Structure 1
């Protein structure tokens, strides 16, 4: 079975960006590894019950580690690595810490006002890439999934994760590490969403099928279907791989619910162009699309997509 390694910045990103891909590979019995670069120490916290964790980096990190473990279990993923704790790497960097962010526009994040002492964006990118390259040589995946150069929506840690993943793929192919031979990853994918599909899903969020199912505590704000889109949105024809979210909707929604400090208002929905909905700390409803999309990383060969024995539910776009 083809192997998959997904590289993410914080706990919850694995579910929100690549949940259907992870669950589909795992359900097929394929080897799946998730690498998480930080523990989300600076994340906002949803709900009064857990509000005391916000601003307490160590406590929030410990809690989010438990959320991540529960989410991975829901997705069927058994292999997880924190990038600052890669086995076999001498001279650890200390902790890679969530760098924080600030909203700078609709669905667009930027750098925060200050950086913590061990911010991931300030860490040695060469060292981080060396650590990830060791994981890639050891797991030898057919597919690596991560973010585009804008990090999906601009979060500094997402952008740095993209940079580290790109360097690690090149490094893994160029040299061994003493324990594992060099390995060239056949396919690198960047998470993406089709613009038309996303706008249609935004419109569907205002439909009676969605609005009638909202409980009093659910988020109510709606995205503007005609407004700016996050960087993860691309013209639909640029998508190279689609994952059928409907086949794995239950485990994906369960994984979202596991990230209770970060995700709220999670529910399945039956509406045109929409199979589920959720909200983040901003309190705005977001769609779960029927198909989770990816584009081939710059420089990748489309012919390589045909050489992967994709599990049922995952297919290159014709």
Structure 2
């Protein structure tokens, strides 16, 4: 059995990203660890906070609830603040992740990889899917940590299939859901996701997709999560039923399959 470390920027990012793979890996007997780089403190403040409860403590509790559903054995926190979206005043606050020293951040993550003797580490694509400053920093941090780790783990990057997204946007428009742009730009002005020709793995979640939805629902304090949960239940598998990964160093071509069934190690260029 393997130990897989999934690295995410904020509590709730696993819900739309890797939760299905986490569910499958834990069910198959692998050890699943999630690392959150930030505490998500600029997130939406729920109206029902109890006396003494903070948005950070609420989001940590939500992360723990999600972990119980995904079968995650350990949650680790890298200890940085949330940078917020590009252009927010929060970008310039000391201690936020996007302003962290890359060497220090990578060392913190590498220490966790060493503690776990990680076989696989999963980060984000080059611009974190949609250009969020923390997501971009996560990409660089995870790549660097994989190189620093005592036992160099197999390295993958979760992303979104840009071609599939275009199909989904078209379908949504046909269903009367306006406001969808098939050429949607991310927070950094670049197209969201990755072209299918550059992907290596497409993991069909099957029935696990609805368990993924349950994990996402644990983060219901956040407005964007609640909006996703308002999608018709029958549409959720279309939008989130396949998880896509890049594996640097692997030959070109997207494999429809499960990357833990494959022994080939990714090679960091």
The equivalences for 1:169-248 within 5 A come to 169-172=146-149, 182-185=150-153, 187-206=154-173, 208=175, 222-228=179-185, 231-248=191-208
Aligned to 1:257: 217
SS of residue paired to 1:205: helix
Aligned to 1:43: 43
Q: Distance in 1 between matches of 2:30 and 2:181?
A: 38
Q: Distance in 2 between matches of 1:8 and 1:138?
A: 18
Q: State the Cα distance separating 1:311 from its structure 2 match.
A: 4.8
Q: Which runs of 4+ in 1 moved over 4 A?
A: 226-232, 309-312
Q: Which is greater in Rg?
A: 1
RMSD in angstroms over aligned alpha carbons?
Answer: 2.9
TM-score norm. by structure 1 comes to 0.70
Q: State the Cα distance separating 1:62 from its structure 2 match.
A: 1.0
Q: Distance in 2 between matches of 1:135 and 1:127?
A: 13
The equivalences for 1:37-116 within 5 A come to 37-45=37-45, 50-51=46-47, 59-84=54-79, 96-101=80-85, 110-114=86-90, 115-116=92-93
Aligned to 1:122: 99
Question: Is 1:159 equivalent to 2:136 in the alignment?
Answer: yes
Aligned to 2:112: 135
Structure in which a larger fraction of residues adopt helix? 2
Q: Distance in 1 between matches of 2:40 and 2:75?
A: 16
Q: Distance in 1 between matches of 2:250 and 2:183?
A: 33
Per-residue CA deviations over 1:133-161 (Å, capped at 9, x if unaligned) read 11112223332111112121111111111
Per-residue CA deviations over 1:105-128 (Å, capped at 9, x if unaligned) read xxxxx2423433321222332222
CA contact (8 A) 1:140 1:183 kept: yes
Q: State the Cα distance separating 1:52 from its structure 2 match.
A: 7.4
Q: State the Cα distance separating 1:21 from its structure 2 match.
A: 1.4
CA contact (8 A) 2:210 2:237 kept: no
Aligned positions, number: 250
